[in-house]
Structure 1
Amino acid sequence: MTVELPVKKLSDYSIFASEDVEAIFELGKRLKGLKVVHVNATAYGGGVAELLMTIVPLMRDAGIDASWEVLEAPMEFFNVTKKLHNTLQGADIEISDEEWGLFEKVNEENAKKLKLDSDVLIIHDPQPAYIPYFLDSTNTQYIWRCHIDTSTPNLKVWNRLTSKMTMYKRALFHIMDYVKPPFDKIAVEFPPSIDPLSPKNIEMNEKEIIEIAKRYNIDVSKPLITVVARFDPWKDLFSAIDVYRKVKERYDVQLAIVSAMAKDDPEGWIFFEDVLRYAGTDKDILFLTDLKGVSHLEVNAIQRLSTIGLHTATREGFGLVISEMMWKEHPVVARPVGGVKIQIEDGINGYLRTDVDDLANAISELLENKSKLNDFGKRAKEKVRKTYLSTAHVRRYLELIESVVK
């Protein structure tokens, strides 16, 4: 399925990063008309989809013939790829030969039905990883973009998966800690980005923000701790609730758990119910999801209403939700996992802690010291502006593509 895309203009981003915009236009002149196709598993509900909704239109504005294709697959396939995702992050789960067969079959079918004719084909994550294996094209350069933490994968699954991924020219990982053979010689460190002009990050006026607070029963007189995460065991939302409960012993705070139910994650519905039960009837724990009409603009407002961000994931590919919160000038207290630890500078723009008690103490320290809270917030925004905006991301892509096609 070809995704319909909005029109985005690089010139609109010059107010944030004019140097990057100039570099992108120069790269675009050299690559003008080059055909680039991105492929991923879903057009909605995950961080990869959000990235592509900005990256691809900006590539087009630079003069690249860029498009985005999404897998067509039954739910059984996504049950298998969820297992695959978990095993690549280290879970000890068995994937049967029958499940591997379905994985290959869906990839082969999509290799035939999707519009993949291109100079450069960029495959995102494991779900469509075998598509190039079933293509007969000597003129296309293949790039694999991995968005998950593969630092300690289940090696049985990793080795079987990667045995048919020898056609890739480059493999992109958020941080080099995630790189494993057979990609060690073609790996590139490649952090993702946030779009400062997307509904999730654009500036909002106070009236809009207060209306959303009222709609979702957020008490603006109380500090708000916010977690933005999918309902996934790796996000450890039980610990988020435990942290909130410990802070609550000292301060009258609220906890917002903000999430979208992704199409490619059937396990999420089960986990959602488990977390709801764990939270019980506490009226200060707010579940704000797309089931209640929470979309990108609402997430933006909720983050702006927040006092502190919290992230309790035990594994995290990168965690763009952290950069999103930091962009709104709020520090984040998080576990030092994956790409989280390169966004948050401990004791400078946030805190990195592991144990529930330590996470709660870090939040309490910021609630006690408003001056530190504000200073951390300003530094947090500046870190994102310099490093993790869409323009820096597009520039990295075009520099990489130029190196590959030459």
Structure 2
Amino acid sequence: MTVELPIKKLSDYSIFAKEDVDAIFELGKELKGLKVVHVNATAYGGGVAELLMTIVPLMRDAGIDATWEVLEAPMEFFNVTKKFHNTLQGADIEITDEEWALYEKVNEENAKKLNLDADVVIIHDPQPAYVPLYRNSPNTKYIWRCHIDTSTPNLKVWDRLTSKMTIYQKALFHIMDYVRAPFDKIAVEFPPSIDPLSPKNREMSHGEMMEVADRYNINTSKPLITVVARFDPWKDLFSSIDVYRKVKEKHDVQLAIVSAMAKDDPEGWLFFEDVLRYAGTDKDILFLTDLKGVSHLEVNAIQRLSTIGLHTATREGFGLVISEMMWKEHPVVARPVGGVKIQIDDGVNGYLRTEVNDLADAISELLENKTKLDEFGKKAKEKVRRTYLSTAHVRRYLEVIKSVVK
């Protein structure tokens, strides 16, 4: 399925990062008319879809003939690829031969269905990783983009999956800690980005924010700790609730758990119910999801209404929700995992802590020191402006594309 895309203009981003925009236009002149296709599992829910909704239109504006294709697959396929996701992050789960066969069958079917006639095809994550195997396209260059923390994968699954992935010219990972054979010779460190002009990150008026606060019963007279995360065991939302309860012993605070239920994550519904039960009937724990009409604009408002961001994931590919919160001038207190630890500079624009008590103490320290809270927030926004905006991301893509076609 081809995804319908909005029109975005690089010139609109010059106010944030003119140097990157100028570099993109120069690269665009060299690559003008090149056909590039991105392929992933779903057009909505989760960070990859959000990224592509900005990256692909900006590539187009640079002169690239860029499109975005999404797999067509039954729910059974996504149950299997969720196992892939978990095992590539280290889970000890058995994937049966029948499940492998389904995975390969769906990839083969999509190789025929999707519009992949292109100079460069960029495959995102494990779900469509085998699509190129079933294409007879010797002139196409293939790039694999991995958005998962593969630092300590289940090697049985990793080795079986990657043994057939020799067709790729480049493999892109958030940080080099995730790189393993057979990609060590072709790997590129490749952090993702946020779109400062998207509904989730654009500036908002006070009135817009207050309307969201009223709609979702957010008490603006109390500090708000916000977690933005999918309902996934790796996000450890139980610890988020534990941290909040510890902070609550000293401060009258609220906790917002903000999430979207992604199409390719059937396990998320079960986990959602477990977290709801764990939270109990505490009225200061707010579950704000797309089931209640929370979309990107509402997430933006909730983050701006927040006092501090919290992230308790035990594994995290990158965690763009960290950069989103930092862009709104709020520090984030988080576990130092995956890409989180390169976004937060400990003791400068947030805190990196592992244990529940230490996470809670770090939040309490910031709540008790308004000057430090504000100072951390300003430094957080500047870090994102320099490093994690869409323009830097598009520039990196065009540099990699140039390297494989030239």
> So what's the TM-score if we normalise by structure 1?
1.00
2:20 alignment partner in structure 1: 20
Once the two structures are TM-superposed, the CA of residue 303 in structure 1 deviates from its matched residue by 0.1
1:6 alignment partner in structure 2: 6
1:272 alignment partner in structure 2: 272
Once the two structures are TM-superposed, the CA of residue 19 in structure 1 deviates from its matched residue by 0.4
Q: Distance in 1 between matches of 2:376 and 2:404?
A: 39
Once the two structures are TM-superposed, the CA of residue 193 in structure 1 deviates from its matched residue by 0.1
Once the two structures are TM-superposed, the CA of residue 256 in structure 1 deviates from its matched residue by 0.0
1:196 alignment partner in structure 2: 196
Q: Distance in 2 between matches of 1:381 and 1:83?
A: 35
Q: Distance in 2 between matches of 1:25 and 1:179?
A: 30
Residues 298-345 of structure 1, C-alpha deviations (whole Å, 9 max, x = no match): 000000000000000000000000000000000000000000000000
Q: Is residue 2:239 matched to residue 1:239?
A: yes
Give 1:289-300 correspondences, 5 Å limit. Answer: 289-300=289-300
Structure 1 unaligned residues grouped into runs of 5+:
none
Once the two structures are TM-superposed, the CA of residue 204 in structure 1 deviates from its matched residue by 0.2
Q: Distance in 1 between matches of 2:403 and 2:242?
A: 48
Give 1:162-181 correspondences, 5 Å limit. Answer: 162-181=162-181
Once the two structures are TM-superposed, the CA of residue 152 in structure 1 deviates from its matched residue by 0.2
Q: Distance in 1 between matches of 2:156 and 2:133?
A: 20
DSSP-derived class of the 2:108 partner: helix
2:134 alignment partner in structure 1: 134
Once the two structures are TM-superposed, the CA of residue 185 in structure 1 deviates from its matched residue by 0.3
Q: Is residue 2:385 matched to residue 1:356?
A: no
Q: Distance in 2 between matches of 1:398 and 1:58?
A: 11
2:308 alignment partner in structure 1: 308
DSSP-derived class of the 1:302 partner: helix
1:160 alignment partner in structure 2: 160
DSSP-derived class of the 1:286 partner: strand
Once the two structures are TM-superposed, the CA of residue 356 in structure 1 deviates from its matched residue by 0.1
Q: Distance in 2 between matches of 1:325 and 1:24?
A: 26
Once the two structures are TM-superposed, the CA of residue 383 in structure 1 deviates from its matched residue by 0.1
1:372 alignment partner in structure 2: 372
1:36 alignment partner in structure 2: 36
DSSP-derived class of the 1:225 partner: strand
Residues 53-90 of structure 1, C-alpha deviations (whole Å, 9 max, x = no match): 00000000000000000000000000000000000000
Q: Distance in 1 between matches of 2:273 and 2:94?
A: 25
2:56 alignment partner in structure 1: 56
Once the two structures are TM-superposed, the CA of residue 214 in structure 1 deviates from its matched residue by 0.3
Residues 331-365 of structure 1, C-alpha deviations (whole Å, 9 max, x = no match): 00000000000000000000000000000000000
DSSP-derived class of the 2:14 partner: helix
1:261 alignment partner in structure 2: 261
Amino acid at match of 1:314: T
2:98 alignment partner in structure 1: 98
Q: Distance in 1 between matches of 2:402 and 2:28?
A: 10
Amino acid at match of 1:154: N
Amino acid at match of 1:81: T
1:111 alignment partner in structure 2: 111
Once the two structures are TM-superposed, the CA of residue 31 in structure 1 deviates from its matched residue by 0.3
Q: Distance in 1 between matches of 2:260 and 2:164?
A: 33
User: Between the two proteins, what is the percent identity of the paired residues?
Assistant: 87
Amino acid at match of 2:336: P
Q: Distance in 2 between matches of 1:273 and 1:256?
A: 16
> So what's the TM-score if we normalise by structure 2?
1.00
Residues 367-399 of structure 1, C-alpha deviations (whole Å, 9 max, x = no match): 000000000000000000000000000000001
1:145 alignment partner in structure 2: 145
Residues 155-201 of structure 1, C-alpha deviations (whole Å, 9 max, x = no match): 00000000110000000000000000000000000000000000000
Q: Distance in 1 between matches of 2:180 and 2:21?
A: 33
Once the two structures are TM-superposed, the CA of residue 121 in structure 1 deviates from its matched residue by 0.3
Amino acid at match of 1:332: V
Once the two structures are TM-superposed, the CA of residue 17 in structure 1 deviates from its matched residue by 0.3
Once the two structures are TM-superposed, the CA of residue 137 in structure 1 deviates from its matched residue by 0.7
1:341 alignment partner in structure 2: 341
Once the two structures are TM-superposed, the CA of residue 226 in structure 1 deviates from its matched residue by 0.0
Q: Distance in 2 between matches of 1:24 and 1:231?
A: 36
1:70 alignment partner in structure 2: 70
DSSP-derived class of the 2:137 partner: coil
Q: Distance in 2 between matches of 1:138 and 1:288?
A: 48
DSSP-derived class of the 1:226 partner: strand
Q: Distance in 1 between matches of 2:63 and 2:144?
A: 23
1:211 alignment partner in structure 2: 211
Q: Distance in 1 between matches of 2:341 and 2:26?
A: 32
Residues 251-289 of structure 1, C-alpha deviations (whole Å, 9 max, x = no match): 000000000000000000000000000000000000000
Amino acid at match of 2:393: H
DSSP-derived class of the 1:123 partner: strand
Q: Distance in 1 between matches of 2:171 and 2:19?
A: 26
Q: Distance in 2 between matches of 1:229 and 1:27?
A: 35
Structure 2 unaligned residues grouped into runs of 5+:
none
DSSP-derived class of the 1:281 partner: coil
Amino acid at match of 2:135: L
CA RMSD of aligned residues (A): 0.2
Amino acid at match of 1:338: G
Once the two structures are TM-superposed, the CA of residue 218 in structure 1 deviates from its matched residue by 0.1
Give 1:390-401 correspondences, 5 Å limit. Answer: 390-401=390-401
Q: Distance in 2 between matches of 1:239 and 1:138?
A: 49
DSSP-derived class of the 2:115 partner: coil
